[in-house]
Amino acid sequence: MSNIETLLAEIEAKAKQEELSIIDAAKKEAEAIVQRAELDVAREEELLQRRGESERQSLYERTISSAQLKGRDSVLKAREATIDEVFRLALEKLNALSDEAYLEVIESTVAKLELKDPLLYVRADKRDFVSAHMTMKLAEETVKSGFSIADGAVVYNNDFGTLLESLRPDIEPKLYKKLRGGE
């Protein structure tokens, strides 16, 4: 298993634990909303007894439905917050890669490309290590996250934040499925 897969597995495990805690709190909040709504309905029922059964039932159903929607919204917001946290932690882990793991990611990417005259842009804190272990020409400028490779007019942007965001549409549905208790 590669370093990135191991990191993602750790992040998923931590996210699942955090998600359970967040979802549990959201469910409790949803239950409290429903309980308050039921109390409100009970008070309103006393006033509506004179108006007839159909109006009372309609109000009860609307109030409960509204409370359930608020509860579902609360759960959805908790799931969204959990997924945002997963991506934040993933970026944090990627930016905290050891020198060796960072170099491994660069070498793996370079191996997949057909480069003619590449210029490598790396993070300032990784520059000395990369320079000592790679023969590729390093740019004087640095990047904040990940790395970039310029080859003539083509620039391969491997900013970790940008890469994670580009993967988000593929990863997010899988995370939602796991957060709902699937797989």
DSSP sequence for 84-147: HHHHHHHHHHHHT--HHHHHHHHHHHHHHS--SSEEEE-BGGGHHHHHHH--SEEPSS-BSSSE
Q: What is the pLDDT of residues 35-87, one digit of tens each?
A: 888 888 888 777 656 667 777 678 889 999 998 999 889 988 988 888 899 88
Helix (H) and strand (E) counts in the chain: 5, 4
Q: How confident is the model at residue 157 (pLDDT cuts 50, 70, 90)?
A: very high
Say how far apart CA 2 and CA 24 lie, in whole Å.
Answer: 33
Q: Return the pLDDT at 112.
A: 92
Q: What is the pLDDT of residues 1-45, one digit of tens each?
A: 577 778 777 777 887 888 788 888 888 887 888 888 888 888 877
Residue 33 · residue 63 · CB < 8 Å: no
109 Ramachandran zone, left/alpha/beta (phi>0; psi -120 to 50) = alpha
Domain ranges of the chain: 3-96, 99-163
Q: Return the pLDDT at 49.
A: 67
CA 97 to chain centre: 19
The pTM of the full predicted model, rounded to 2 decimals, is 0.61
Residue 105 has pLDDT above 80, yes or no: yes
Q: How confident is the model at residue 182 (pLDDT cuts 50, 70, 90)?
A: low
